[in-house]
Structure 1
Amino acid sequence: MYRPTAFQEDNVDKLVAFMKANSFATLVSIVEGVPYASHVPLVVKVQEDVIQLIGHLAKLNPQWQAFETVESLAIFTGAHAYISPALYEKHENVPTWNYIAVHAYGIPKVITLNHSPESMDQMIDEMIDTYEADYKSHWHGLSDGYRQGMMNGIVGFEMTVTRLEGKYKLSQNRSQTDQETVSAALLQNPDPAIRAVGEEMRQNLSMDN
């Protein structure tokens, strides 16, 4: 992604924390020569400095057929906010948008019940542990036939991240005064998503001071 120097974020711990907090991602692959995207919850794991993304798609979704051959991209985004030029010191300015985005690249490995039942069970358990741990006993209490039917209808995947890019566009290219004014204005907005951007700006400013 286009990352001007002022907006680049390469702190892996910070990026992983953002991915975990915003784990409903857009997964993009090239299927038959054209981009194909699915919107999926992902489990973000870090083991010995290796980042892995775990999830699954419906078996009828053709995107998984592109796995294991070419690179895919998982896009994680959070809150975003319109920034009015009226907030800047100087009159000659234009509107913009503040946001945070993290791009994770890798080649997904396919997991199916027929070929790797243990891996499929592990993938399901990790998804449950991440999103609703209390559901695990319910899931394992279902009949074997029902659970196998559900798992036969999906294709799991595990993607080792080979490239990670972060973009924190939080008015860092503006003066200190402009950044403080924009942050204060966003923090007063009734929309919690817009206030979240203001809070990210405030935290970023505190790190610089």
Structure 2
Amino acid sequence: MADNRKSCLSGKGVTKVFGFGGNRTVAVDHVDFDFKEGEVVSIVGESGSGKTTLAKMLLGLINETEGDIYYQGEKRDIRTQRKKREYWKNIQAIFQDPFSSYNIFNKIDSVLLDCIRMRGGGRLPYEQKREMMTEACSFVNLKFEELTNKYPFELSGGQQQRLMIARIFLLKPKILLADEPTSMIDACSRATILDMLMQLRDEIGMTPIFITHDIG
């Protein structure tokens, strides 16, 4: 059966080299890929194989040395900050250490309000924003009213990762890069997080890309 799903993110000969001359390190070497809308993708490799470097290039956090990356069939253009912000509305990430993803000075409601603003809802009445934040927290089995005066570092590792998923629920990206999202939490929380990510894929129609060293 033919796969009629459109390409959402692809690359040709994507390469990343760090250093110069005799100190050159090839982290990613002429990689080709084509991820389709709605499919579940896994990038698997041992530590040091270039998985996270590739993820950073896909996110636009670092530039590729050679090759081209295409978004929705067109060559990606993120040369200005405005274009990067537009791109980041549609591609987001969850990393293995959720704590490092948060600004330690921002309370949880500020974290979630930033997501609403990023999606263009900054001028909505606060009550409507509160409903959106409550819904996002409920999706990941957190109670918003218990979080409003807390900072992310006051949560457990599993709760911090669930809060990251609540952010994704509000941002509604087309693509989610999940870089070892369960490696720093216990086995019970791990299964819950993966289940939530798959529910989120069905809820908002995103393409999850899992990056892992664990082939199982």
* TM-score normalised by L of structure 1: 0.25
Larger Rg: 1
* Higher strand content, 1 or 2: 1
* TM-score normalised by L of structure 2: 0.25
